[in-house]
Homo-oligomer: A and B are copies of this chain.
């Protein structure tokens, strides 16, 4: 794995080619030009239980550049999740992550920021990196939010709204359930996702990076929302759209763009479906709304000659999920 990236010139499925199994995605007709991943820059905010695995996955997938943001230190209590090792205790998470990642794939350029993005000064630095962080000094290709608290989520949301930057969110259940109607600053830090397993963290990271690859390399179907109930193994899927009750200037702009996009889609699909989308929830402090996604389109994905899928997506497969986001219990009651 030299800096010359000679692996990319070869699609040979040989054991000495670190890119052979990735390039096979191209040979099989799943991804048209996998090597384009080398030009992409992804910012990962929060390098904890999900973010560290996300960074490792993208490194092994040979992304061009990673920009990592975190201000925590590695602790022994993090050893119940993948990635960090006990000998890294006490190091900053971004530095520990970089040390591991450059050994896994030295082709990936890794930039680290050891600060809290929610302070005013760091917010400006964060926005600057979104705007100028790519390999060519331009906008990054995607921001992934892997943080463990509401304030940081809103900060990512604000920055990406301002910059018209596409971003994807992830989270584990306690914040997703109980972050409504409480001031998150009153929560003790240890109460945030107090219990966690490497299993759920890896599944969430896997979904997020899978979606990232599909988005960056334009294959498969990028999901708007995938949930995972680990106790019962079911997976709700939903669409998302901007909250049209939000008065923020940049959010207003995004709402307008969303409406224009939907109108354009409606023109094309007019013979198929003209029904207005039904709003499930009026609004919430996430600045987003969840809408029913009861119709599922036919698969647009094609694969190479001689390949077929084990499963085909059924036409009417959406589960009706009960989506009560008005968490009645506080985290510190747990």
Contacts and interface: CB of A to CB of B under 8 A. Distances in A.
Interface string A47-81: 00000010011001110000000000001110111
Interface string A7-42: 000000111111111101101101000000000000
Interface string A235-276: 111000000000000000000000000000000000000000
A299 B232 contact: yes
A197 interface: yes
B299 A327 contact: no
Nearest to A84: B104
Contact of A18 (B16, B79, B103, B206): B79
Contact of A104 (B30, B79, B199, B213): B79
A198 interface: yes
A280 interface: no
Contacts of A334: 27-28, 304, 306-307
A281 interface: no
Contacts of A27: 194-195, 334
Copies in the complex: 2
Contacts of A299: 231-232
21 contacts: A13-B190, A13-B194, A15-B77, A18-B77, A18-B80, A18-B86, A21-B81, A57-B197, A86-B103, A86-B104, A207-B233, A221-B233, A229-B313, A231-B309, A233-B235, A234-B311, A234-B317, A304-B334, A306-B329, A308-B328, A314-B321
Interface of A: 1, 13-22, 24-25, 27-28, 30, 53, 56-57, 60-62, 75-77, 79-82, 85-87, 103-105, 173, 176-177, 190, 194-203, 205-207, 209-211, 213-214, 219-221, 223, 226-227, 229-237, 299, 301, 304-314, 317, 319-323, 325, 327-330, 333-334
